């Protein structure tokens, strides 16, 4: 079963916003065995929308469309959607009651014609009720393809996908199973890894596809199996993970099922009843922000001192001015002291510290642009590592953040094993 995701909106095409709706929908579809064949972003233009619909007709089973359902003149998706089906717009009484309740009851203002028009839907469509906003979702079939139109506001779109579309697809379509398994490797580049596992890769069964996902310093290997017998797929994946492990055991550090490093680390901390704090200079709070983005983070994340200015390192973290003068603010010694001190201040088992120069200009020290020291205080002591993450600034911050969490992950794994 195949789907195409169409996002409509000039704001995407001029680069004003990043389209994250497609990613959310693709993930949800993948989970229930629906293959996303394409994602397409197009403008708020009637002919462009009609052409896109026509081009997808009977090529995929489902087209999921987001955007352009607002009450204003630039939102033309609903009218165009209706035209495509040669249908006419009629008032849906349930939607009208919901819109009225929202405007008059919640926002406490008189309902206008533009508001009321939100309750207009094509006469033949199945309405998907949007409890999160005024624009309903619309589900309509033509020949072999179902077209579903959803509002572009992420929270409204997510609500409708989770509560209406996924259950409806699960009920109405037979779908295969799609299973992914991602193996994390560290320390060797993708071409080297590819050479080592060449024979293994050549012997993978037809229904398992292998992908290399390189990041600086690590390569993730993703196996994807598609088929109708879930047990058989799982067995085949498991066997191939075993045989892969026999070949590159030295560089495999873990597995992920689409999990982020902050979720993996969070689970490890929670499971082992360990707590964490951070003292951040060049990462500016990003590590704390990632750690606290995970639900339930309060069980293991105690807090952070973002000591961006040197005086914050002295005043809040209690780093001695002598140490800074002797080694400079961007040094292994200062990173170690930051980690140890914040661990003491916030009474945690582990503490991460970063100090470096994210660039593009030199800061409070003479450190090279891109240079970062990461320290991890553990129940046993403190370790420090030096990196140069190059440029640009966002890359230095991102890589220092991810690397810090990876160092933490490795250390916890060591201790708990």
Closest CB to a second copy among residues 12, 148: 12
The answer to whether 240 contacts a second copy (rule: CB under 8 A) is: no
Closest CA to 65 of 51, 79, 81, 83: 81
Q: What residues form DSSP beta bridges with 102?
A: none
Closest CB to a second copy among residues 26, 96: 26
The answer to whether 17 contacts a second copy (rule: CB under 8 A) is: yes
Is 115 within 8 Å of 71 (Cβ atoms)? yes
The answer to whether 296 contacts a second copy (rule: CB under 8 A) is: yes
Closest approach, Cβ 86 to a second copy, in A, equals 25
Closest CA to 225 of 241, 248, 246, 247: 241
104 vs 96: CA distance, rounded Å: 12
Closest approach, Cβ 73 to a second copy, in A, equals 6
The answer to whether 361 contacts a second copy (rule: CB under 8 A) is: yes
User: C-alpha distances in angstroms, 124 versus 91, 127, 170, 312?
Assistant: 12, 9, 22, 64
The answer to whether 226 contacts a second copy (rule: CB under 8 A) is: no
Structure tokens at 322: 């002598």
The answer to whether 311 contacts a second copy (rule: CB under 8 A) is: yes
Task: Return the CA Rg of the chain.
Answer: 26
- Give the other-Cβ count within 10 Å of 19's Cβ: 18
The answer to whether 32 contacts a second copy (rule: CB under 8 A) is: no
List the strands of the sheet with 218-227, edge to edge. 208-215, 218-227, 177-186, 252-256
8, 19, 157, 331: residue in contact with a second copy (rule CB under 8 A):
19
The answer to whether 89 contacts a second copy (rule: CB under 8 A) is: no
Q: Please, which of residues 168-187 interact with a second copy by CB under 8 A?
A: 178, 180, 182
The answer to whether 209 contacts a second copy (rule: CB under 8 A) is: yes
The residue range among 42-50, 81-89, 137-145, 246-254 that interacts with a second copy, by the rule CB under 8 A, is 42-50
298 secondary structure, DSSP code? G
The answer to whether 346 contacts a second copy (rule: CB under 8 A) is: yes
393 vs 283: CA distance, rounded Å: 10
Q: Report the b/e string of 323-350 with b at 16+ CB within 10 A.
A: bbeebebbbbbbbbbbbbbbbebbebbb
Q: CB-side exposure of 1: number of CA atoms within 13 Å?
A: 21
Q: Please, which of residues 105-164 interact with a second copy by CB under 8 A?
A: 107, 109, 112, 114-115, 153, 155, 158
Closest CB to a second copy among residues 190, 234: 190
Closest approach, Cβ 322 to a second copy, in A, equals 20
Closest CB to a second copy among residues 34, 375: 34
Phi, psi of 307 (to 5 degrees): -100, 75
The residue range among 81-89, 323-331, 390-398, 403-411 that interacts with a second copy, by the rule CB under 8 A, is 390-398
Closest approach, Cβ 9 to a second copy, in A, equals 8
Task: Give the per-residue contact string, 260-289, with a second copy (x = CB under 8 A; - = no).
Answer: ------------------x-x--xxxxxxx
Closest CB to a second copy among residues 140, 369: 369
């Amino acid at each position: 079963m195949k789907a195409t995701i169409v996002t409509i909106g000039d704001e995407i095409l001029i680069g004003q916003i990043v389209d994250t709706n497609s990613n959310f929908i693709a993930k949800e579809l993948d989970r229930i065995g629906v293959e996303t064949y394409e994602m397409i972003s197009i403008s708020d233009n009637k002919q462009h929308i009609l052409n896109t619909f026509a081009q997808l007709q009977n090529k995929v089973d489902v087209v999921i469309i987001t955007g352009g359902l607002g009450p204003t003149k630039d939102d033309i998706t609903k009218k165009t959607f209706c035209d495509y089906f040669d249908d006419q717009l009629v008032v849906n009484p349930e939607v009208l009651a919901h819109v009225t309740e929202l405007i008059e009851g919640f926002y406490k203002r008189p309902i206008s014609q533009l508001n009321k028009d939100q309750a207009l839907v094509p006469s033949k469509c199945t309405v998907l009720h949007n409890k999160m906003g005024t624009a309903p979702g619309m589900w309509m079939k033509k020949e072999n393809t179902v077209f579903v139109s959803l509002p572009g506001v992420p929270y409204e779109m997510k609500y409708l996908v989770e509560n209406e579309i996924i259950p409806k697809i699960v009920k109405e379509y037979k779908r295969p199973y799609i299973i992914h398994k991602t193996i994390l490797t560290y320390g060797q580049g993708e071409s080297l890894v590819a050479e080592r596992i060449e024979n293994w890769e050549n012997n993978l069964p037809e229904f398992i596809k292998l992908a290399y996902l390189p990041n600086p310093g690590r390569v993730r290997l993703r196996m994807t199996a598609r088929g109708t017998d879930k047990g058989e797929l799982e067995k085949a994946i498991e066997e191939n993970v075993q045989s892969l492990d026999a070949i590159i055991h030295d560089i495999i550090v873990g597995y992920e099922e689409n999990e982020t490093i902050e979720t993996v680390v969070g689970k490890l901390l929670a499971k082992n009843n360990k707590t964490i704090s951070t003292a951040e200079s060049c990462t500016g709070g990003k590590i704390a922000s990632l750690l606290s983005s995970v639900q339930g983070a309060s069980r293991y994340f105690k807090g952070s001192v973002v000591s961006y200015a040197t005086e914050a390192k002295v005043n809040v973290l209690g780093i001695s001015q002598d140490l800074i003068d002797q080694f400079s603010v961007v040094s292994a010694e200062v990173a170690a002291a930051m980690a140890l001190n914040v661990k003491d201040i916030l009474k945690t088992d582990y503490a991460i510290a970063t100090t470096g120069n994210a660039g593009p200009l030199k800061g409070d020290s003479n450190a090279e642009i891109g240079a970062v020291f990461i320290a991890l205080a553990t129940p046993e002591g403190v370790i420090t590592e030096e990196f140069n993450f190059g440029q640009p600034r966002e890359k230095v911050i991102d890589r220092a953040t991810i690397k810090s969490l990876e160092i933490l992950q490795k250390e916890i794994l060591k201790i708990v094993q």
